[in-house]
Structure 1
Amino acid sequence: MEANMDKNIYKGNRKVLSFTTLAFFITFVVWFNMAPFISTLKETFNLTNDQVAILGIANLALTIPARVLIGMLVDKFGPKKVFSNLLMILSIPCFAFALSDSFIQLMISRMFLAIIGAGFVVGIRLVSEWFPSKQVGLAEGIYGGWGNFGSAAAAIILPTLAVIFGGDNGWRIAIALTGLIALGYGFIFKRIVSDTPEGIEYKRPKKSGALEITSHKDMVGLIIMTIPVYGILGFLTYRLGWQLNFISDGIAFTVLGVLLFFLLLNVYKIWDVNKETLKNGVPEKEKYAFKQVAILDFSYFCTFGSELAVVSMLPFFFEQTFTLSIAQAGLIASSFAFMNLMSRPGGGWLSDKFGRKKTLNILMLGLALGYIGMSQIESGWPIGLAIAITMCCSFFVQAGEGAVYAMVPLVKKRVTGQVSGMVGAYGNIGGTVFLTIFSFVSPRFFFVTIACAAVICFFCTLFLKEPDMEAIQEQTFEKDKKSNAKVSTNII
């Protein structure tokens, strides 16, 4: 009977999952449409290696705060409106990038395009609205894994399109086409998708501007976890100013001052949003432990953060270790990303089947062992064994990502967007931190460092609390009596 009830209430959820996954896929195609054309851009614009590095930073920097901000907007305005507008508005800097005729134009358009990387957060809330809590892990895994494939699709398809269009402007046409697809799909998405199934209320936060917490201790925790979001932007500013000498000391100090101002403003908003609630007391059914969010932040830091870093260095690692050609090393390294199609949904399914906490515990331990295995890869190894170890490690990394986002929607329904945004931001922070470490150490020590972080994260996940699935499902349908009566009638 429960299965029939879910089937009636969530009718059309597969269609919504398909359209939402495609939206996420398109955002990643647009976000990563520069990568296949790096050599072309270097030749066309006579770019130095430092300028290429600056474009890479520009393509990442604003994604981190954007994921937090977009999470707030999703909770307030609903995913349909936010996702469709994100696709349409950010087609503009995509067109600007395709039409650029100077390095400055390339960099500015890439900075704004980085925001589209926050699209992932939107779909997490939308998918969680359309699936019962006992199935949300697999659904989010499919969404994350197949949407993430957009980065690989960009690397495969866009160079081919550039060749088809031919000439010196082939790359421009290919990139502009991704912007045109995003623009058109934004209109389609707005017309086809709904925020929730019929009869279910879209729950919004009582106040906007900061995450709702339920104790003074959690407020302190939220403030502490907010600091790295601005700290990593300060580090990127340091790289642009004092390492790459792209901006002057004056501009760098100004940016750092602006970041400090926004950090203090964010701290004030955390206090302002939560002061009355904490003063008057939080009802027992409204409470949740912020430690859940903090542990998920660190888990995604280790999983998605390490994936971002490893995917960036793996072609070079295989090329140098086994004396392969660039094409051969790139093909082998791509297996790490391709595992997303199976691994991330697999992690979500395991969470649905065996429990959120237990699954994440096991996968984090497997992730640590996987990176220890990769640290032992040497030139004397059979290359087939090295590939097998790499793919095995990749499974635990991406299944871990699926397990993290199987739990994110179950922390607190009406702030799922904000929780998802913070967790997603920590994934990008992890990528930046691990890549920075790689610039100073050998590949072996790099893999060991990630393994150590995963071991620490494993012990942290032991303190997670398994979500109460029945209570969460009841809260999903909790409305006023009149609305409840209407839903019940529809089900019957």
Structure 2
Amino acid sequence: MTTNATPEKFNIFSFQGKMKILHLSWIAFFITFMVWFNFAPMLMAVKESLGLTTAEVKTLLILNVAFTIPARVIVGMLTDKYGPRLIYTGLLAICSIPCFAFAMADTFTQAAIARFALGLIGAGFVVGIRLVSEWFPHNELGTAEGIYGGWGNFGSAAAAFTLPTVAAICAGVFGGEEGWRWAMGLTGLVSLLYSFIFYKNVSDTPKGATYYRPKKAGAMEVTSKGDFWLLLVMKVPMYGALALLTWKLSPAGISMFSEFVVNTIYIGLAALYLFDSYHVWQVNKNIFVEPVAEIHKYSFKQVAVLNILYFATFGSELAVISMLPLFFSETFELTPVVAGMVASAYAFMNLMSRPGGGWLSDRYGRKPVLLILTAGLAIGYFVMGQVDSSWTVWLAVVAAMACSFFVQAGEGAVFAAVPLIKRRMTGQIAGMTGAYGNVGAVVYLTVLSLVDYSTFFLVIAATAVVGFIALLMMKEPEGHIAEVQEDGTVELISVS
């Protein structure tokens, strides 16, 4: 029995072996998030510089996340097929192009195309999940993935804190009022330069280990008839989220698209789902003819449960981070600066909470930790739903930070389980689960546009309860994952 992990000690201060891979990976993820979220802190400067309307700014924010949903699925497949080293390198290099294009945009159309294309970089997260899983054993995997996700995720907060200052410095050095262009262009340059560093210093697996690739390309493999139908069902919300984004751009929303264009997109999404389903059939039709050997089976139900949990955790985090400053400002009559500083405490929790969720999973088991964190998530958002102007500000901040701990630790616990389902498809599984986080954000932000703050938080709490119920059907990962090497021998990778 062997595993694809190296035996050296887990030492966060080391920059050798598997720890070097972990540090290079979270830095790559950090950069992708810094580039992906470089628009929000520069929003007012961009609006004034390009002469945009409020509706056009909202459109750019929507376009920023639209492409990420399908991109995470596609990038997950490419990672499994070609390896994380090549795909992460390509992603960092290629996405610098739309970043530069946005920095040089003169019209709304140019900015919109660049912002939509930049949604691709949001898929970088998926690549590192597969890479880290190749280097760490099961008893360290949750901690390693938590560090990767939590520290990398902080790239969005780093952009918020540093880019306005960088823009001001650039405006002073180069003159004019368009320092935002230099600041955004700088993030693209960092991404491009780091792609070379990453490619030169990373390998897909430890020396002598095998990198397992999917047997068939084009769709996720499943190992039973029931899982085939469940996979088709679980794809529906991803297309539904894209339809929801389209509706937001329709005459019923912000009127960016005409009724004809919107209906064309709806028809296109329906056709794309049918085409996708056909590929799922092509890859998996053999299971309707002969059963898969027991040793090679995995339960797609595990993936479905983790999808739902990431919908509630990361989906709510993306939605809440975007509305929390305004919530504190309106509820407690704070200035925008103070409200932003108070709300930033939510994002800061990522540095420790997400690794903490992974560490707890390594120590006490995936399912029990997820059950506790999901229950805490539901209670946390229920409490947030009770916050109003009668509360003291400090108590509301404590409630928000406590809630954020369960949210982000839950994210860490989800991705402590994702790599333990089927090694050769870890990228695809991570891609689908990651996409569900974006689906959750789209749904929650749509809900926010229709209801008050209290109801918004209570809706998230209700979906966390749904996640808790779904979690009861999940099995604790145990035993081994069986993967077949090129010479036909079977390798057993320990997951417990």
With normalisation by structure 1, the TM-score equals 0.94
> Which position in structure 2 is the counterpart of 1:487?
none
Aligned twin of 1:174: 183
Over 3 Å counting, the alpha-carbon distance change for 1:44 and 1:465 in structure 2 is: same
- Partner amino acid, structure 2, of 1:69: I
Structure-2 change in CA distance of 1:482 and 1:304 (3 Å): closer
Return the offset for 1:479: 7.2
Of 174, 184, 196, the residue aligned with 2:205 is 196
RMSD of aligned alpha carbons: 1.8
Q: Distance in 2 between matches of 1:74 and 1:6?
A: 21
Q: Is 1:388 aligned to residue 398 of structure 2?
A: yes
| Paired letter, 1:175 | M
Residue 87 of structure 2 is aligned to residue 77 of structure 1: no
Q: Is the 8 A contact 1:201 1:477 kept in 2?
A: no
Bigger drift between 398-407 and 225-234 goes to 225-234
User: What does the per-residue CA deviation read over 1:437-467, in whole Å, with 9 as the maximum and x for residues that have no partner?
Assistant: 1111111111111111111111111111010
Say if 1:306 and 1:8 are closer, same or farther in 2 by CA, change over 3 A. Answer: closer
- The SS at the match of 1:69 is helix
Aligned residue number for residue 279 of structure 2: 269
Per-residue CA deviation, residues 71-124 of structure 1 (Å, 9 max, x unaligned), is: 100011100000000110111111000011101000000000011000000000
Larger helix percent: 1
Report what 2:480 is aligned to. Answer: 471
Q: 1:20-419 maps to which residues of 2 (within 5 A)?
A: 20-166=25-171, 167-242=176-251, 243-419=253-429
Q: What's the offset of the Cα at 1:155?
A: 0.6
1:4-63, CA deviations, whole angstroms, 9 ceiling, x for partnerless residues? x94259970000000010000000010011111111111112211110111011101000
Whichever residue aligns with residue 409 of structure 2, its letter is: A
User: For residues 147 and 376 of structure 1, do their structure 2 counterparts lie closer, same or farther at Cα, with a shift above 3 Å needed?
Assistant: same
Structure 1 CA distance for aligned equivalents of residues 374 and 483 of structure 2: 30
2:426 aligned counterpart, secondary structure: helix
Distance 2:9 2:294 in 1: 28
SS in 2 for 1:280: coil
Say if 1:200 and 1:477, in contact at 8 Å, map to a contact too: no
Q: Flag the 1:129–1:278 CA change in 2: closer, same or farther, 3 A.
A: farther
Partner of 1:7: 7
Gaps of 5+ in 2: 11-15, 492-496
What amino acid is the match of 1:97? F
**Structure 1 residue matching 2:381: 3-state secondary structure:** helix
Cα distance in 1 for partners of 2:354, 2:381 equals 18
Mapped contact 2:224–2:287 kept (Cα < 8 A): no
1:416-444: CA deviations, max 9, x gaps? 00100000110000011011111111111
Q: Count the aligned residue pairs.
A: 479
Distance 2:210 2:149 in 1: 25
Which residue identity does 2:272 align to in structure 1? F
Cα 1:249–1:477, aligned 2, differ >3 Å: closer, same or farther? closer
1:218-263: per-residue Cα shift (whole Å, max 9, x none)? 1100001111111111121122122211122222222222211211
Q: Deviations over 1:335-381 (max 9, x none)?
A: 11110000000000000000000000000000011111111112122
- C-alpha deviations, 1:181-230, integer Å up to 9, x for none? 11111111111100000111000000011110011111100001111111
Q: Residues 82 and 9 of structure 1: is their aligned pair in 2 closer, same or farther, counting only changes over 3 Å?
A: farther
Q: CA deviation at 1:382?
A: 2.0
The answer to whether the Cα contact below 8 Å between 1:78 and 1:195 also exists between their aligned partners in 2 is yes
Partner Cα separation in structure 1 for residue 46 and residue 391 of structure 2: 37
2:465 — aligned with what? 455
Q: Is the 8 A contact 1:67 1:118 kept in 2?
A: yes
Q: Which of residues 445, 448, 463 is equivalent to 1:435?
A: 445
What SS is found at the alignment partner of 1:134? helix
The one-letter amino acid of 2:408's match is: Q
Q: Which runs of 5+ in 1 are unaligned?
A: 485-492
Partner SS, residue 341 of structure 1: helix
Change over 3 Å in CA distance of 1:404–1:103 after alignment to 2? same
Query: Whole-Å Cα distance in 2 between the matches of residues 120 and 169 of structure 1?
Result: 31
Paired letter, 1:459: I
Q: Do the aligned residues in 2 keep the contact of 1:200 with 1:476 (CA within 8 Å)? A: no
Q: Counterparts of 2:182 and 2:457 in 1: how far apart (Å)?
A: 39
- Deviation readout 1:259-289 (Å, 9 max, x if unpaired): 1121111000001001124423211111111
Distance 1:390 1:467 in 2: 32
Write the distance in 1 (CA, Å) between the matches of 2:8 and 2:49: 56
Distance 1:359 1:479, change over 3 A: farther
Q: Compute the displacement of 1:169 (Å).
A: 2.4
Tell me, in whole angstroms, the C-alpha distance in 2 between the residues paired with 1:49 and 1:172: 20
- Distance between the aligned counterparts of 1:9 and 1:196, measured in 2? 17
Write the distance in 2 (CA, Å) between the matches of 1:260 and 1:376: 40
